[in-house]
Amino acid sequence: MKIKKFNSYINEGVRDLMKPKSQEEIMDAINNLTPYGMLNKLYSMFNETEFPIDDLEEIAEKKIEEAEAELDDILNGDTLSDVVDKVAEWVNKNGGEPKHIIGRGFKELSEHIERYDEIYHDDVITEFKTLLRVFAISEASNNNREFNI
């Protein structure tokens, strides 16, 4: 085996050559995450003494409010099966897995409720949408693909 020799400045460790990320680079990376991913990342990366988390936490909370307002608009859609499809898209956009919406029975149940809507009270549709909303938020926030970045 032949050993290559390098100049002394090259023999520095990789860690010595690395420069820390600037606060601007960190902010850009965090701002590109989904709302729930941003909040989860902030909680996992920083504590209050290392970083001004309050400002970032407010930004993340505002993004979450906007995302949940978008979800509420979706839930006021036309047919239940269309609502389920759009909620699955919302979940995907916000970091969750849409298959957990479509594949967990929501689609089939929505189609069943639509097919037999004359036998169900309006409360059934309201409660179905409430369950779908809570499940979608839980999926996006707790099963966030970006959390492990």
User: What mean pLDDT is predicted for residues 86-115?
Assistant: 90
pLDDT tens column, 44-59: 776 655 655 567 778 8
Per-residue pLDDT tens digits for 5-15: 555 555 556 66
Question: What would the DSSP string read from start to end of the chain?
Answer: -PPP---TTTTS-HHHH--PPPHHHHHHHHHTS-HHHHHHHHHHH--TTTS-HHHHHHHHHHHHHHHHHHHHHHHTSSSHHHHHHHHHHHHHHTTS-THHHIIIIIHHHHHHHHHTGGGS-HHHHHHHHHHHHHHHHHHHHHS-GGGG-
- Write the pLDDT tens digit of every residue in 120-133: 888 898 899 999 99
pLDDT band at 149 (very low <50, low <70, confident <90, very high): very low
The reported pLDDT for the residue numbered 72 is 95
